[in-house]
Structure 1
Amino acid sequence: MKDRQLPESVYNWTSVIGAAMAVISFGLILLTLMIEVFVESSTPYVGLITFIILPSFLVVGLILIAAGMLVERRRIVVGKHGHFRPELHIDLKNPRHRNAVVIFTGVTAIFLMATTVGGYNAYKVTESVEFCGTVCHVMHPEFTAYQTSPHARVSCAECHIGSGAGWYVQSKLSGAYQVYSVIANKYPQPIPTPVHSLRPARETCEHCHWPEQFFGARKDVNQHFLGDEENTPYPISLLINVGGGSEEHGAAEGIHWHVAESNRVDYAVTDDKRLDMEWVRLTDAQGNIREWTLDGESIQSQTAEVSEVRTMDCIDCHNRPSHVYRSPARSVNTAMAYGRISRDLPYIKREAVTILDDDYEDTPAAMTAIDEHLRGFYADEYPEVLDSQAAELDSAIANLQTIYRQTIFPEMKVTWRDYPNHVGHSESIGCFRCHGSDLTTADGEGISKDCSLCHSILSQGPDAEEGMISAAGLVFEHPVDIYGEELETNCTECHEGGSEIY
């Protein structure tokens, strides 16, 4: 045994296995690092393996080495002296001790440096968009919607975590259960929203957007096409009263009045989706308070079980800022407005929305059904289209398949109905959760449903005829005569963005 260069306690199977695990892991880390450096396009899985998985095995190996040495030392000491001496004795004159100290110091220094570099890179990997969107298949719908959203150049972490160590740690702790849910296949389909543990919007959204800098109005043209044979266009030109403002620039007004510094709007809901309002409370800059409740009585007298009390912020209206699942009606209207789907194809609006709104087992089945449905419809009803408009039909099919892949995900049971967008009120209840609801003050005053508070209709319909265009604003006229019902009934009682009206 005299030829051994290390202490006797090193020579045990536990430490040997740990050393082998550590050496192999370290070698593989070096190999994957070379792949990261020299391969131009590597996947997020390389970073996951390099900076998270392999270092975990390396640490386990080092722990096994130390644990094996402790157990072996106890065994040796007990065998010789009948008791364990806990004190650590190092004699640098002893070659074995000297070799052990040199090796331990060198390995520790290398390990600490590697840990520092690896830890930083692990942080970068886990904060990257690719890691969030592609490592876990559960996130495929969210990642797909994000890539076509207005915030596609903003990283996931900038909104979901923001700056500071506190929320970073909190996000990782909450993410630990999500990892378990995916591994154990216990995650819900679709993933429920809103996410109640998100960082407050004012701490993230307002790094770029803040109400004090919003002023005036913005023109917006909503392109609509009817479901008739001619796919009649029915554009609606709106002047959106964006509003905002601050004490320096005048009183807050318009839509962003709700989140201006001079106002505080609190509300309570009785459901997890934040749709069913129990009460609303407004506190103005002078501290005056107004309350709206379901029975007009005080908030304190309400007996319903409240799920959540919130102070209104960006997310209450802009609840789909990056993960927007557009409805078939909206998607087809946009594609037709830009010419990607030809308006010359008879009934293409109706048929396109209908086929997108059907149920399919998976995405490949939907791709096949879209092709077969449209070709079958025109073969039966307009056979001349197959020859005279073959290119337009092929383009329509391809664009509808793209729309489906970007907005509907049967594998995760995700559709636009599961994630309604509360900006507006045409396809989700949105504004009408409060405005025009049953909430009233003690003297019976409700929350106004006056359309002109938020927007003015400058023109509507295919032709700028007299009575259909006005700088002062028009009363909305439904493209199909429904006898004035559009002025009394919420849009969502008929429209959901799918084929329900056809």
Structure 2
Amino acid sequence: MRDRQLPESVYNWTSVVGVAVAVASFCIIVLLLLIDAFVDATTAYLGLLTFIVLPIFVCLGLVLIAVGMLIERRRLQRGAHGHFRPELNIDLRNSRHRRAVAIFTGVTGVFLMATAVGSYNAYQETESVEFCGAICHVMHPEFTAYQSSPHAHVSCAECHIGAGAGWYVQSKLSGAYQVYSVLAEKYPRPIPTPVHNLRPARETCEHCHWPDQFFGARMMVNQHFLGDEQNTPHPISLLLKVGGPASSRSGSAARPHDSGDEGIHWHVSEANRIDYAATDDRRLDIAWVKLTDELGQTKEWTLDGEPVDQEVLDGSELRTMDCIDCHNRPSHNYRSPTKLVNQAIADGRIDRRLPFIKREAVTCLDDEYETTSEALSSIDEHLRTFYADEYPEVVEDQASMLDAAITSVQGIFQQSLFPEMKVTWRDYPDHVGHSESIGCFRCHGSDLTTAAGEQISKDCSMCHSILAQGSGPGADSIAPSGLVFEHPVDIYGEELETNCTECHEGGAEIY
């Protein structure tokens, strides 16, 4: 046998396979790093392979080398009849030992440096938006909604994890089960919300939305179009009384434009603490509300003013109200067909001159489809058939206008409805407002009363004033003191007594 360059224990097939796996994986990592450095357009999976998957194979190869050496050493020991030293024996006078030590030291140094760089990049990769949204097909609806949200330039990790190692570790442990669920196809469709182990909003939202800088009020114009032949505009101009807790915070003086502890953000004022109990997982059914003011005085509201059974409280989710209880869809808001079609008409993407386009667009969006491709085909067929049957002159003289409308409606579907994951806006109600989901009315104007019979107020003017509404005579003038809401269609005063959601869900239910 010729003189070998390394110790005898290295020469075994297990270690040879380990060397091959480790070296091949490391070379592929280097190749992928070069591709990432010099190629502009790369796949979202590149980082996953480079910094997470392949390093596992490098480590596996190193483990195989060590295991093979241990097994081979024991085999040599059994065949040496006691002449093979069992303990670790390094003799630097032996050239083979010197060579082995040099190789081990060099490889260890390279491995440690690569581990440091790789660990940092693995951290960056798992915190990236692409890792959260683009790699996993299950997240396609959430990622699509996120890209058109007000938080599109805020990374997923900034809201879902936040700063600090504790929540980072907790999120990765939670994510391990989610990876298993995806691989084993154990995940529900649609993904249930709310996320019950989400980090408290004050530790994430308030990094940007600083409560001391909430402002008093802002004007908002909601563009509405009726479902009649003319798609009649019916805009509503609101003065939203955002308010906020600025005046109640120590060291903060109320500014002239602040409304102090009034308005919508009164709910999260540090001068008040609101606790509530939700009896369902979606936090829609509220059984108990408790208000604690800055003096420590409390007031409780319960269903019909009756004491709440401890058994009900034990089976409910008890929460202290924060941002997420109203702003529950800040980045993944699946807006209803009604809102999206209204916006498309207002923007000019859908031409209002097409008769009944508002009604027909909402109708074909609010249908049941098995796949997105089926939906896109059905939308095209529905609109073309309707206009061919009812308004053939549109097909003949305004074909380009109709084509543009069809393309826009199909785009709305692709951005907001995902049949493969069974995702619709009805599955993810937005609690901001009350026009299409119960939202504010979960508490305000509900059956919750104090023992003395006091209800949580349903006075609309506490949160907003209607400055102008409709498109009839005088609609262009502003009423600073506010107007009483008038329903576009006369429903004999029911709009003042009945919640909007009794009739409106954002779909074709009213057509």
Q: How does 1:77-156 map to 2 (within 5 A)?
A: 77-81=77-81, 87-156=87-156
Asked if structure 1 preserves the Cα contact closer than 8 Å seen for 2:277 and 2:313, the reply is no
- Please give the alpha-carbon distance, in whole angstroms, between the structure 2 residues aligned to 1:37 and 1:411: 36
Asked if structure 2 preserves the Cα contact closer than 8 Å seen for 1:278 and 1:306, the reply is no
- Please give the alpha-carbon distance, in whole angstroms, between the structure 2 residues aligned to 1:228 and 1:95: 93
Q: CA deviation at 1:82?
A: 6.1
Equivalent residue for 1:413? 422
- Residues 301 and 365 (structure 1 numbering): CA distance in 2 closer, same or farther, change over 3 Å? closer
- Please give the alpha-carbon distance, in whole angstroms, between the structure 2 residues aligned to 1:281 and 1:447: 11
Q: Which amino acid aligns with 1:461?
A: G
Equivalent residue for 1:314? 323
Equivalent residue for 2:371? 362
Q: Tell me whether 206-215 or 234-243 shows the greater mean CA deviation.
A: 206-215
- Please give the alpha-carbon distance, in whole angstroms, between the structure 2 residues aligned to 1:264 and 1:84: 75
Q: CA deviation at 1:304?
A: 5.5
Q: Which amino acid aligns with 2:232?
A: T
- Residues 303 and 315 (structure 1 numbering): CA distance in 2 closer, same or farther, change over 3 Å? closer
User: Structure 1: where are the runs of 5+ without partners?
Assistant: none
Equivalent residue for 1:449? 458
Answer yes or no: is 1:246 the counterpart of 2:255.
no
Equivalent residue for 1:221? 221
Q: How does 1:164-175 map to 2 (within 5 A)?
A: 164-175=164-175
Q: CA deviation at 1:162?
A: 1.0
Equivalent residue for 1:479? 488
Q: CA deviation at 1:210?
A: 2.7
Asked if structure 2 preserves the Cα contact closer than 8 Å seen for 1:269 and 1:306, the reply is no
Q: CA deviation at 1:466?
A: 8.1
Answer yes or no: is 1:24 the counterpart of 2:24.
yes
Asked if structure 2 preserves the Cα contact closer than 8 Å seen for 1:267 and 1:309, the reply is yes
- Please give the alpha-carbon distance, in whole angstroms, between the structure 1 residues aligned to 2:313 and 2:26: 60
Q: CA deviation at 1:95?
A: 1.6
- Please give the alpha-carbon distance, in whole angstroms, between the structure 2 residues aligned to 1:484 and 1:467: 24
The CA deviation string for residues 302-352 of structure 1, in whole angstroms up to 9 with x for no partner, is 746533111111111000101111100000001111111111111111000
Query: Percent identical across equivalent pairs?
Result: 73
Asked if structure 2 preserves the Cα contact closer than 8 Å seen for 1:460 and 1:468, the reply is no
- Residues 464 and 91 (structure 1 numbering): CA distance in 2 closer, same or farther, change over 3 Å? farther
The CA deviation string for residues 413-444 of structure 1, in whole angstroms up to 9 with x for no partner, is 10111111110000000000000111111111
Answer yes or no: is 1:402 the counterpart of 2:403.
no
Q: How does 1:156-235 map to 2 (within 5 A)?
A: 156-235=156-235
- Residues 283 and 85 (structure 1 numbering): CA distance in 2 closer, same or farther, change over 3 Å? farther
Q: Which amino acid aligns with 1:400?
A: V
Q: Which amino acid aligns with 1:246?
A: S
Q: CA deviation at 1:78?
A: 2.7
- Please give the alpha-carbon distance, in whole angstroms, between the structure 1 residues aligned to 2:344 and 2:335: 12
Asked if structure 2 preserves the Cα contact closer than 8 Å seen for 1:293 and 1:299, the reply is yes
Q: Which amino acid aligns with 1:39?
A: V
Q: Which amino acid aligns with 1:78?
A: R
The CA deviation string for residues 260-281 of structure 1, in whole angstroms up to 9 with x for no partner, is 1111111111111011111011
Answer yes or no: is 1:68 the counterpart of 2:68.
yes
TM-score (ref. length: structure 1): 0.97
SS at match of 1:268: strand
Q: Which amino acid aligns with 2:93?
A: K
- Residues 466 and 151 (structure 1 numbering): CA distance in 2 closer, same or farther, change over 3 Å? closer
SS at match of 1:473: coil
Q: Tell me whether 417-426 or 122-131 shows the greater mean CA deviation.
A: 122-131
- Please give the alpha-carbon distance, in whole angstroms, between the structure 1 residues aligned to 2:72 and 2:44: 41
Q: Which amino acid aligns with 1:32?
A: L
Equivalent residue for 2:257? none
The CA deviation string for residues 350-394 of structure 1, in whole angstroms up to 9 with x for no partner, is 000000001112111111111111110010001001122212111
Q: Tell me whether 302-311 or 478-487 shows the greater mean CA deviation.
A: 302-311
SS at match of 1:113: helix
Asked if structure 2 preserves the Cα contact closer than 8 Å seen for 1:246 and 1:260, the reply is no
The CA deviation string for residues 227-284 of structure 1, in whole angstroms up to 9 with x for no partner, is 1111111111111000002332344110000001111111111111011111011111
Q: How does 1:463-478 map to 2 (within 5 A)?
A: 463-465=472-474, 470-478=479-487
Asked if structure 1 preserves the Cα contact closer than 8 Å seen for 2:279 and 2:312, the reply is no
SS at match of 1:238: strand
User: Structure 2: where are the runs of 5+ without partners?
Assistant: 255-259
- Please give the alpha-carbon distance, in whole angstroms, between the structure 2 residues aligned to 1:231 and 1:183: 47
- Please give the alpha-carbon distance, in whole angstroms, between the structure 2 residues aligned to 1:237 and 1:24: 65
Q: Which amino acid aligns with 1:204?
A: T
Equivalent residue for 1:422? 431
The CA deviation string for residues 168-197 of structure 1, in whole angstroms up to 9 with x for no partner, is 111111000000000111111110000111
Asked if structure 2 preserves the Cα contact closer than 8 Å seen for 1:74 and 1:84, the reply is no
Equivalent residue for 1:459? 468
Q: Tell me whether 352-361 or 88-97 shows the greater mean CA deviation.
A: 88-97
- Residues 403 and 95 (structure 1 numbering): CA distance in 2 closer, same or farther, change over 3 Å? same
Q: Which amino acid aligns with 1:199?
A: R
- Residues 83 and 201 (structure 1 numbering): CA distance in 2 closer, same or farther, change over 3 Å? farther
SS at match of 1:267: strand
Q: Which amino acid aligns with 2:253?
A: H
SS at match of 1:54: helix
Between Structure 1 and Structure 2, how many residues are aligned?
502
Asked if structure 1 preserves the Cα contact closer than 8 Å seen for 2:77 and 2:86, the reply is no
Answer yes or no: is 1:36 the counterpart of 2:36.
yes
Q: Which amino acid aligns with 2:397?
A: S
Q: Tell me whether 209-218 or 62-71 shows the greater mean CA deviation.
A: 209-218
